[in-house]
Structure 1
């Protein structure tokens, strides 16, 4: 890894820490999710970075992949997961926390289980470690708290402009013997009092470009060019398109999706509608060094 790349990754992590601290101040019960998302977007830009993906504000049984649209009326409540990505020139920091807005003992225990699962993974993490060992450590830690990990959500390797690159990091015991190599990883256990699996739910308002191509409508081509230049292969959301182009931009987004050029992420919902908590950090493995960029 070149020093310039390392420095940008570190800087993204430092900004992520500041954004997380800010988010913990503004995420309050009954505050509109749209207000929270817009404030987080603005804070990231004020700190000299850009979002690596739209902030996820996923509540209760929705484990991941929800962000408010431009006219969303939903408010913060329950157990909310706040998943934030920061990018500097395509170098990414990915981090998340969960907060209980219902003063629920069950929610608090779930959040603690996710944190302990993350700590167990980070303790094991290192070049040459088998990923199955990491999954086993996470599962054991979460089960000791009386819950189960979400088995079909994993941590992931990160590369420039690529959030899910190559290796996946399980959160349960497996026989996988693939070993960690130098690089950047997001480690993100999810704990639940449900079945321990998620299914696809409603559309999330989050997209990314999947195919090259074009659209017939001139305005839709303008929006497509904007998406290509602004977001490259990273995820974006309908809210950002509306902010740039207004309601015509939303119509253009539908045309681009219908042309088969976009993937529209579904919300990820716990199979038994169990409550889900999440904890996440980004880690760089560089020789014998283990640098958690998103942790103080």
Structure 2
């Protein structure tokens, strides 16, 4: 799931103090659990810094990637022109659970000029069409694999070339990324590959460092040469080029129904507190969607969600729309970088 730049290196990174929310809204038991999570996460980060050439929970990241690759193959088998987006999303959710993992975020199903952050609502009637981007996240105990692909449902040559451009950018980035390589060099490789197809990358979307329960952990992978001298360190990275025949930037569109916990807070309504407690317990700092809340709590849960958002506790992602209404294609893999090797966790064979 991509990141849009608003001026900071990680403007949509998930807040580290979010576990305080549970202590203010869900009672002593949740506070104790939240404190334990915070302490465990801190200890893991210290170990990561001290070891550098190793990734804590390495096997879980690899396993999440393998499952994500299986989900991609499954998704490709069910996506057809005219199939409801809601049906696709629910089947993907169910398949992830069937494989004993959890969604790391709601599957993004974004059509044509909508670049990202579009997921079906509980009563969505829209169907698959046009140039469809499918962005999938799988997590095992907070260790995430993030992968995406694009599908041409119009049998359109321009769509096919856009997809090839994004995939070419991804291939170039995977070849370039390594310990010590500057992120701008990776961006340059992506940009050159996409421009060779006479398209442009989207400049204000990027790949990102992934840490446990944190999709956007600070370091970003630009889709163009931004001249920044930031070096790749040991870690888990999502690389996700976007190609477009538009202007090469995205703007905020309408609300997406995708949320994340943003800051500590409380609500007065008892039922809203129950919903908030569930969100803290189930999703922690990872994104979730109104569709999932409706499934758990029905329409009353959606009202509670609005109350929690109004209290400033939640951030709702906007859809991201290409500024010139150009079509957008996306390709993405998750890569683990260590001193010993480079592993593309989400790579699969057709």
* TM-score > 0.5, shorter chain as reference: yes
Note the 1:118-133 alignment, pairs <5 A: 118-133=170-185
Q: Is 1:208 aligned with 2:260?
A: yes
Query: Do structure 1's residue 81 and structure 2's residue 139 form an aligned pair?
Result: no
* 2:151 alignment partner, SS class: strand
Q: Tell me, yes or no, if the aligned pair for 1:28 and 1:101 is still in contact at 8 Å.
A: yes
**Partner of 2:18 in structure 1?**
none
Task: Summarize the alignment of residues 1-296 of structure 1 with structure 2, pairs less than 5 Å apart.
Answer: 5-296=57-348
Contact 1:127 1:288 in 2 (8 A): no
**SS of the residue 1:172 aligns to:** coil
TM-score (structure 2 length as normaliser): 0.84
CA apart distance, 1:175:
1.2
CA drift of 1:249 comes to: 0.2
Counterpart-to-counterpart distance in 1, 2:150 and 2:125:
21
Displacement after TM superposition at 1:231 (Å): 0.1
Check whether the contact 1:114–1:277 (CA below 8 A) recurs between aligned residues: yes
What's the offset of the Cα at 1:286? 1.2
Classify the secondary structure of the residue corresponding to 1:28. Answer: coil
CA deviation profile, 1:159-197 (whole Å, cap 9, x unmatched) = 000000010111111211110000000000000000000
**Would you say the 8 A contact 1:126–1:288 is kept in 2?**
no
Quote how far apart the aligned CAs of 1:214 are: 1.1
Deviation at 1:4, TM superposition (A): 6.2
Equivalent residues of 2:55, 2:338 under 8 A apart: no
Give the Cα separation in 1 of the matches to 2:114 and 2:60.
32
Residues 3, 129 of structure 1: CA spacing in aligned structure 2 closer, same or farther, 3 A cutoff?
closer
Unmatched 5+ stretches in structure 1: none
Q: Report SS of the residue matched to 1:246.
A: helix
Q: Distance in 1 between matches of 2:263 and 2:141?
A: 22
RMSD: 0.8
- The CA deviation at 1:213 is 1.3
Q: What CA distance in whole angstroms lies between the structure 2 residues aligned with 1:156 and 1:177?
A: 16
SS of the aligned residue for 1:18 comes to: helix
Displacement of 1:238? 0.1
1:106-141 CA-to-partner distances (Å, cap 9, x unmatched) read 000000000000001000000000111111111000
Distance (Å, rounded) in 2 between the aligned partners of 1:111 and 1:27: 16
TM-score between both structures, scaled by the size of structure 1 = 0.99
Deviation for aligned residue 1:81 = 0.3
Whole-angstrom CA distance in 1 between matches of 2:56 and 2:344: 17
Runs of at least 4 residues of structure 1 off by over 6 A?
none
Partner of 1:248, secondary structure, is helix
Shift of 1:288: 3.3
Q: Distance in 1 between matches of 2:287 and 2:119?
A: 12
Aligned to 2:20: none
Task: Tell me: CA distance 1:247–1:152, structure 2 relative to 1, closer, same or farther (3 Å).
Answer: same
Question: For 1:97 and 1:44, how far apart are their aligned partners in 2?
Answer: 17
In the alignment, is the contact (CA less than 8 A) between 1:186 and 1:282 conserved in 2? Answer: yes
Displacement, 1:3? 6.9
CA distance in 1, matches of 2:196, 2:63: 35
